[in-house]
A and B are shown apart, each in its own frame.
Chain A
Amino acid sequence: MTLTLPGTSPVQKRKARRSRRRAGFDTPLGRTVLQAAAVIAFFAAWEIGVRMGWISAFLVGSPFGIFALAYKMIVSGELLSDTWYTLFEAILGFVIGTIFGSLLGLALWYSVFVARLVEPFIVAINSVPKIALAPIVVLWFGTGLVSKVALSVSLTAIVALIAAYQAAKDADVDLQSLLISMGADKHQVFFKAVVPSTLPSIIATFRINVGFGLVGAVVGEFISSQRGLGHLIYTASSLYDLDTVWVGLFTLMIMGFVLYYVIDLIERTSLPWKQSGITHQVQV
Chain B
Amino acid sequence: MQPAPVQLSVRNVTKSFSGKAGEVRVLDDLSFAINERDFVSIIGPSGCGKTTIFNIIAGLIEPDSGAMHFRGEEIESLRGRVGYMMQKDLLFPWRTVLGNVLLGLETRGVDRAEAEARARDYLKAFGLSGFENAYPKTLSGGMRQRVALIRTLIMDPDILLLDEPFSALDYQTRLYLEGVLKDAVETYHKTVILVTHDIDEAVALSKRVVVLSGRPARVKIVHDIDIGAASPIAARGDSRFSGYFHALCAELDIQTEKTA
Q: Which residues in A have some Cβ–Cβ distance to B below 8 Å?
A: 172, 174-175, 177-184, 188, 192-193, 196-197, 199, 271-273, 276
Contacts and interface: CB of A to CB of B under 8 A. Distances in A.
A182 B90 contact: no
A113 B109 CA distance: 30
Q: How many B residues touch the partner, as a band?
A: 20 to 34
B90 A174 contact: yes
A273 B107 contact: no
B100 to A, nearest CB: 11
A174 B85 CA distance: 11
Contacts of A172: 90
A182 B60 contact: no
Contacts, number: 59
Q: Which one of A177, A178, A182 has the greatest number of beta carbons of chain B within 10 Å? A: A182
A197 B95 CA distance: 11
A177 B60 contact: yes
Contacts of B55: 177
A181 B92 CA distance: 15
A180 B106 contact: no
A183 B108 contact: yes
Interface in B44-86: 55, 58-60, 79-82, 84, 86
B151 to A, nearest CB: 9
Contacts of A197: 94
B144 to A, nearest CB: 14
Given A181-B58, A273-B95, 6 more contacts: A179-B103, A182-B103, A184-B107, A192-B103, A192-B106, A276-B138
Contact of A188 (B60, B88, B95, B107): B107
Nearest to B60: A177
A183 B79 contact: yes
Contacts of A188: 107
B94 A181 contact: no
B237 interface: no
A181 B59 contact: yes
Nearest to A182: B104
